[in-house]
Each structure stands twice: as structure tokens, then as C-alpha cells.
Homo-oligomer: A and B are copies of this chain.
Amino acid sequence: MSLGEFELIDRLLKPLARGFPGALDLTDDAALVEVPDGLELVVAKDAIVAGVHFLEEDPPELVAGKLLRVNLSDLAAMGADPLGYLTVLARSRDIDDTWLKRFAAGLMADQKRFGCHLLGGDTVSTPGPLVLSLTILGTVPKGRALLRRGARPGDDVWVSGTLGDAALGLRVLRGLAVPEDEAITLVDRYRTPRPRLELGRHLRGLATAAIDVSDGLVADLGHILETSGVGAILDASLVPLSPVAAGIPGAREAALTGGDDYEILFTAPADRRAEVEALRAGLDHRLTRIGTIRIGQGLEVEDGAGNRLVVDRGGWRHF
């Protein structure tokens, strides 16, 4: 037995739209969004596929949370405030009503937490695996969005929170043996990103470039460097590890090249270092200075003793 599309919409999705008049109770094919004067809209769209980005046996609440949170993280990296989202569910045959109810419950919990509503979307059937796509809408004061293209030579390179935990969490899911409480911590970091929305807001007008760490620190810093037309030097010994990660072999490589941490990597002028440091007091996560932007191109990674490291997807070694 499976809910038809209309029942699905009525029972599971309409409650997610309540409280946002422009969602029109999901009765219409499109939603209306007012963007107040002085703000501009920020829009991003991501998709995840069962068997590729998550497993169909993963808890549906967490799949919903991850789908919403990776998109919220895109908003955080732009310094934007969440407004609403649209979803596409391409349902595979294995997805039953219980799965859908738990998925909707996951969306409800997180949309309350982060202050946004469902605005619309589509549900279709597929003979293949479940495909989930989400479009997120947010707003940012006009001209104040954080972009990747503004890093300048001399800027400090900063990162929020700790890195490598999510990649280690994925390794735990794949069989890496660690004590149970550590396993729970790491898997939670992999499954439940923390979009750094508050940090993003504070960085408006302060950061010169920003990105969220989804592909890995080295790759994502590379995106900033390429788009900004600059190089950087990074001190690997400064890259922040959580206490749990620090005790696991391979943690520093995971922090440099592992993905899925969804921390904010940003650059800011060196003469505004005190302002960035002052932000720490109001946040529940660290802010760590890990490198410097310089003229040129490419990323050089040092080990803290001045030795150059070569970093690639396979890990790192002394040069």
C-alpha cells in the first residue's frame, strides 16, 4: 500500500508549508515569494541519490536532515538567511509510507530549527533508486553576499569548527573500528551537518571570500584560489581536529582531503583579525586561522616545521 500523490501532499507535505502564505497551501503549481526591499534572493539546488550519497536503509529523518542541511550550508557560505525550500522526490518502489512519514518528520524538525518552510515541488515515480533534490531560497542584504572570488593576497585563511570528522564517520560506517561513543560522534558528524548560518551572517562585510567544506579542505580552498586568481600557503599543523578525531590514525589527512564537514572556510583581511577573533565568543564552535593568501596561484601546504607537503586525493607526504 502506498499513498497516492495527492494524499502524500495533503497529509505529509501541506503541514510543512503552513505558516508561509506564498506557499498557497501547495494548491498551486508555483509559490510566491516576497523579497523585501534592500534584500536579494540567494538560490541553490542540490540532489542526493540512494546508494551514492546515502543508503536507503539510513534513517529517513536523517536523510531529510542532511538534504536540507547541505543546502542550508550553501546559504551559510553566502552569508544568507534561509527563507524556504522546494523538494523533488523521485520515489523508488522500495519507499513506503512509513519511510515518507519519517522523511517528512525530519524536514519538519529541521525547518523549525532553521526557520524556513516548504514552498512546493514535485513527486514522481522512478523504477531506479530514490533521487531527492532540494532547492533552497534565502535572502541577503543587497551587495553583501559572500562570494568565492574576493580573496586577496595577505588575507588570512580561516575555518570554522573541526575538520575530518565526517570523513572518519564515513569510514566508521564502512567498518573502521573505534570505541562506540567515538563512533557515534563521528557518524553523527557525517550524517548531520551543522550549517553555520550564524557565522555566515557575521561574516558579511568582513570575509573577502567564503565556501563551505563539502569536497574537502584542499579542494574547496582550491575553488576559492582559482575563482579569486590567487595562491595560498596552509599550515597543516593548525588545521583543527576534534578531540575524537585527533586520536585516530589518518585524522590529519582526513581533515585536509576528506569531504562532508560543511564547515565554513573563509578569507579575511589580516588587519581585521581581531574582529574575526571577537566573533568566537558568540559562537558554539571554533574559528581557526590556518593559512595566508598570497600572490600567484596554487596551494602550498606546510607541516608546521616549515617543511612542504604534497597533498592529493591519496593523502599527503613530505616533499
CB <8 Å contact, A124 and B52 = yes
Which stretch, A73-81, A267-275, A286-294, A309-317, touches the partner chain B?
A73-81
- Alpha-carbon separation in the docked complex, A276 to B37 (Å): 34
- Given the known interface contacts A127-B128, A129-B126, A135-B86, the answer about A120 and B30 at a Cβ–Cβ threshold of 8 Å is no
Interface range on chain A: under 10, 10 to 19, 20 to 34, or 35 or more?
Answer: 35 or more
Identify which of residues 130-177 in chain A touch chain B, using a CB-to-CB cut-off of 8 Å. Answer: 131, 133, 135-138, 140, 142, 145, 147-149
User: What residue in chain B is nearest A22 (Cβ atoms)?
Assistant: B40
From known contacts A42-B31, A77-B29, infer whether A49 and B126 are also in contact, taking CB-CB under 8 Å.
Answer: yes
Contact present for A145 and B32 (CB under 8 Å): yes
Contacts of A127 in B (CB 8 A): 49, 51-52, 128-129
- Partner of A45 from B48, B121, B126 at Cβ < 8 Å: B121
How many copies of this kind of chain does the complex include? 2
C-beta contact mask, A189-229 vs B, less than 8 Å → 1, else 0?
00000000000000000000001100000000001000100
For residues 1 through 52 of chain A, which have their beta carbon under 8 Å from a beta carbon of chain B? 22, 24, 27-35, 37, 40-49, 51-52
A125 CB contact (under 8 Å) in B46, B49, B145? B49
A: which residues have CB within 8 A of B?
22, 24, 27-35, 37, 40-49, 51-53, 74-75, 77-78, 80, 86-88, 90, 92, 119-122, 124-129, 131, 133, 135-138, 140, 142, 145, 147-149, 211-212, 223, 227
